[in-house]
A and B are shown apart, each in its own frame.
Chain A
Amino acid sequence: MKYAYYPGCSLSSTGVEYDISTKKVAESLGIELWEIPEWNCCGASSAHLTDHLLALALPARNLAIAEEKGLDVAIPCAACYARCKATEVEVKDSKEMQKTISEVIERQYTGKAQARALLDVFVNDLGLQSISTLVNKPLKDLKVVSYYGCLLVRPPRLGFDDAEDPQSMDKLIEALGGTPVDWAFKTECCGAAHATTKSEVGFPMIEKILTAAKEAGADCIATACPLCMSNLDMRQTQVGAKYGKNYSLPVFYFTELMGIALGLNPEELGISKHFVDALGIVKKLNEAAGRRDTA
């Protein structure tokens, strides 16, 4: 199995552990990731607020390079995925747009190379069965709420899962030996950049999600988006202080949880980079496993 790999800007900065864990896990699972050479920014929210064509042309260049190579593109970041998918669909829908974009980027992109969410690739291409057979440190008794965020499974007609009550990450957690905890905030918005620019809007949104996860009885949160990670992890103490709460809720990229279950070294997966201590829970998990082994 081989895919073009588009990490996107966040994965080389705030979300570097997402990049590290993705590569490590893919390697363990036998998935070859060919990083798109000289990839450019997907445009994120800035481009599509500025100019529609720009918002399509930026991802199209990366997709075109993958298309030349004959590969679909695996994309970990939910926002990058959303922009790339939007481009793919628009190009497929309109020959005219395809022509315009090709002129702008000076490359051919016909929509043949598909934008795929990394989670989709793992769950639906590789399959849960294959993953579970490779698990050697199951996430036993770890109660995980899966947090998909607002972009990963939307818009509905394009998504690879139910847009309101998605299941793929929950099923993945189960395949890793963990306990997926059902909750109603799977696709609630984390507030995105509002936490930075308008904290009076952003903080209550984060608070709702963290509180709901806590009330659902979760030990930790699994996510698939670097911005969601920042909000839930980096802002957690700040939000807790504002609302007088101590959440102590570790937040993981789903790839990190996969890495742990596949027996990779947590430090090497980048888990030590989190703001809310996440190593502790992994350690406990390993200790419990050790006790089970000796008993």
Chain B
Amino acid sequence: MKRVGVFVCHCGTNISAAVDCEKVAENAKSFPGVAYSTDYKYMCAEPGQELIKKAIKEQKLDRIVVASCSPRMHEPTFRRCIESGGLNAYLLEMANIREHCSWVHPDDKERATIKATDLVKMAVAKVMQNEALVRSTIPITKRALVIGGGIAGIQAALDIANAGHIVDVVEKEPSIGGRMAQVDKTFPTLDCSACILTPKMVDVANHPNVNLITYSEIEKVEGYVGNFDVTIRKKARSVDLKACTGCGTCIQKCPTKVPSEFEMEMMDRKAIFTPFPQAIPNKPVIDRESCRYFKSGKCGVCQKVCPTNAVDFTQEDELVTERYGAIVAATGFDLFDDSVYGEYGYGKYKDVITGLHFERLLNASGPTMGKIKRPSDGKIPQNVVFIKCVGSRDEAKGKAYCSKTCCMYTAKHATLVREKIKDSNAYVFYMDVRTPGKGYDEFYTRTTDQYGAKYIRGRVSKIYEKGDKLIVWGEDTLLGRPVEIEADMVVLATAMVAKADAAKLAQMVGFSYDQNNFYTEAHPKLAPVETHTAGVFLAGACQGPKDIPESVAQASAAAVKVCGLLSKEEMPTEPIISAVNEAICSGCGMCVPVCPYTAIDLKVIQERVHGKTVSRKIANVNSGLCQGCGACTVACRSAALNLKHFTNEQILAEVDALCL
């Protein structure tokens, strides 16, 4: 005989104000299988838990129903509780009579009590069907992979490495550094970005526990938490990193010039190049698309001048596979394409530029050696107009979200215009000024009060060229009148968007992303660096627009999660996973594509039928990958797949209890 114990919680007055808990406990006594039923003010508190443990012993209970809050809140608590009381943790069922009952029906105690009773009845029916489940364990490979070598990736790698674990950092570009390397000064302190970034770049490069794998991309990811098998494509650099001393002779002598991506195409680089002077590794790469040798077979100057014979035109892409216990995605962001704003003429007027272009114009090693000059004619601009929210907060043409960083970097830009150019004017068109960060609002106040930047609340409707000026038409919505400014340069605070290939990587690794292709955290408040895929963590702007302090903080948080995982030899796995009834599985394979975690494949089994050995295909669930979502059980036509702890029989028992 199964003996179920029911424990109804008042949750202070959270439940008892709307539900007659004593009556619910009383009603429960009549349900089939219930041997004991009681109520208590705070079931999750120490005395409440003791009450349960005592009842298990004294009443010889073998399965438990707790009627209280959401299982998301206290299921782990009560599982631990009954485990220490001597029962299997999965012989627990929770009836959520708070979020699903008292909180939503505060005004009708009688009916709320009936509903609570029904919820308990269902839970009792289910727990009668529950089976003891056993957690198994999987070994953990003590090596972490960080995808992306920007500031977030660098910080995560350093923290993991400092904790004593081996980390590989895979960076797509020839150098680590990311977007932060392009930035000139950082808000709110105006310290130089390179001055604080490059030491970290050197640290991560020299760290004995870190391997930098630059100019490389993730090709394939298999496996699961603790054991990800990752194939990395090391793109042919055409330069032997071991032989190259980074002397730079090849770069000097290369005859081919192409616009530099790092300098936002405002300056040229060579076909053999390092993206910027402080690049790490500070060894060049050949851009084969523009290299004369690769295009026409002639030239080869770099190879001839190289004193160490490091240039190797025959190099090919190399695929390496490595096993990792944990992965941190830190792939960063791209910029929105401003040319959709026809009225701003970005791409048509040379002096309408993005904030990132402006960073390069401010930078001492940029195209203008740090002097703010117009890209069109090199003149120093007197009137600079800044437009905020270009692509952000604009559902019609851009993105619905706020890009978060633009208010601050625009304030920084306006400050620097006023500081660097005598008698200049900095006009900022804004919708709102959002400065929630330490020292941020003070910085903005200095921009207006001390540096005299002119903030105009309103949107710009049109920009057009008149002679060598840009005429900016806008609206001052506070004064309620149109504004016209003769500008020399216009800087657009362009929205941050997900990387063009963000979705591809997420699909490859097997974690989710939102409608804007930003990676989705497991919980927006309580699990901001985890993904729904165990062992995969997020850092930086790949998860959503972020500034440097926030990216660094998130990177360190992700590193802690990685270290927590890697500090163990093995980890328990959740037993609530799909199971295949091999006898009735027809091997149709419908479950394979619906699985979001690529946990199901088809395997061939041998059977003896009528004395003959035949082989057939059946579904096979990888217990390390399965997250227990249940999608496959719905797709399965023959009900061969069943999710443990949520089996068809268990769910139907609940339905029967309510409806029969």
Residues in chain A within 8 A of chain B (CB atoms):
156-157, 162-166, 182-185, 188, 212, 215
**Contact between chains at A184 and B396 (CB < 8 Å):** no
A215 and B341 form a contact (CB under 8 A):
no
Knowing A184-B462, A184-B463, A215-B466, the reply to whether A157 touches B396 (Cβ < 8 A) is: yes
**Binary per-residue interface labels of chain B (345-363) against chain A in the complex, 1 for a CB within 8 Å, 0 otherwise:** 1001000000000000000
- Whether B397 pairs with A184 at a CB distance below 8 angstroms is no
Residue ID in chain B nearest A155 by CB atoms: B396
Q: Which residues of A contact B419 (CB under 8 A)?
A: none
On chain A, the residues within 8 Å of B513 by CB distance are none
Bound state CA distance, A183 and B348, in angstroms? 11
Indicate whether B646 reaches chain A with its CB closer than 8 angstroms.
no
Contact A165–B342 (Cβ < 8 Å): yes
Smallest Cβ-Cβ distance to B342: which chain A residue: A165
Query: Which A residue sits closest to B466, measured CB to CB?
Result: A215
Q: How far is the CB of A183 from chain B (nearest CB, A)?
A: 8
- Measured between beta carbons, the chain A residues less than 8 angstroms from B397 are 156
Chain A residues positioned under 8 Å from B173 (CB to CB): none
* Contact (Cβ within 8 A) B342 A164: yes
Chain B: interface residue total (CB-CB under 8 A): 14
- Residues of chain A within 8 A of B345, CB atoms compared: 165, 184
Q: Determine which residue in B340, B342, B345, B396 has the highest number of CB atoms from chain A within 10 A of its CB, and name it.
A: B342
Q: Evaluate contact between A165 and B396: CB separation under 8 angstroms.
A: no
Contact B343 A164 (CB under 8 A): yes
For the complex, is B464 an interface residue (Cβ under 8 Å from A)?
Answer: yes
Overall SS of chain A's interface: loop
Q: How far, in Å, is A289 (CB) from chain B's closest CB?
A: 32
CB distance from B121 to the nearest CB of A (A): 42
Query: Which residues of chain A are within 8 angstroms of B222 by Cβ–Cβ distance?
Result: none
CB pair A162 B342 closer than 8 Å: yes
* Shortest CB distance B483–A (Å): 15
In the complex, whether B465 has a CB less than 8 A from a CB of chain A is yes
Whether the Cβ atoms of B465 and A156 lie closer than 8 Å is no
Q: In the complex, A255→B464 CA distance in Å? A: 28
A184 neighbours in B (Cβ, 8 Å): 345, 462-465, 471
Closest A residue to B339 by beta carbon equals: A165
A182 CA to B340 CA, complexed, in Å: 17
Residue of B nearest to A183 (CB): B464
In the complex, the answer to whether A156 meets B396 with C-beta atoms within 8 Å is yes
Sorted from nearest, which 3 A-B pairs have the closest CB atoms? Answer: A165-B342, A184-B464, A164-B342
B residues near A156, Cβ cutoff 8 Å? 396-397
Contact A164 B341 (CB under 8 A): yes
For B435-471 the 0/1 string (1 means CB < 8 A from A) is 0000000000000000000000000001111100001
A163–B342 contact, CB under 8 A? yes
11 contacts between A and B (CB under 8 A): A156-B396, A157-B396, A162-B340, A166-B342, A183-B464, A184-B345, A184-B462, A184-B464, A184-B471, A188-B462, A215-B466
Report Cα–Cα, A162/B466, bound state, in Å. Answer: 22
Q: Which of A165, A166, A183 has the most CB of B within 10 A?
A: A165
Quick one: closest A residue to B464, CB to CB?
Answer: A184
Provide the bound-state CA to CA distance between A182 and B463, in Å: 13
Please, what's the 1-or-0 string for B166-187, where 1 marks a CB less than 8 Å from any CB in chain A? 0000000000000000000000
Interface hub of B341, B348, B464 (most chain A Cβ within 10 A): B464
Q: Which residues, 326 to 351 on B, are CB-close (under 8 Å) to A?
A: 340-343, 345, 348
Interface residue ranges of B451-504 to A (CB < 8 Å): 462-466, 471
Instruction: Give, as a whole number of angstroms, the nearest-CB distance from B459 to chain A.
Output: 12
Q: How far apart are the CA atoms of A205 and B608 in the complex, in Å?
A: 90
Q: Which residues of B contact A166 (CB under 8 A)?
A: 342
Residues of B within 8 A of A157 (CB): 396
Nearest-neighbor residue (CB-CB) of A186 within chain B: B342
Minimal beta-carbon separation of B385 from chain A (angstroms): 15
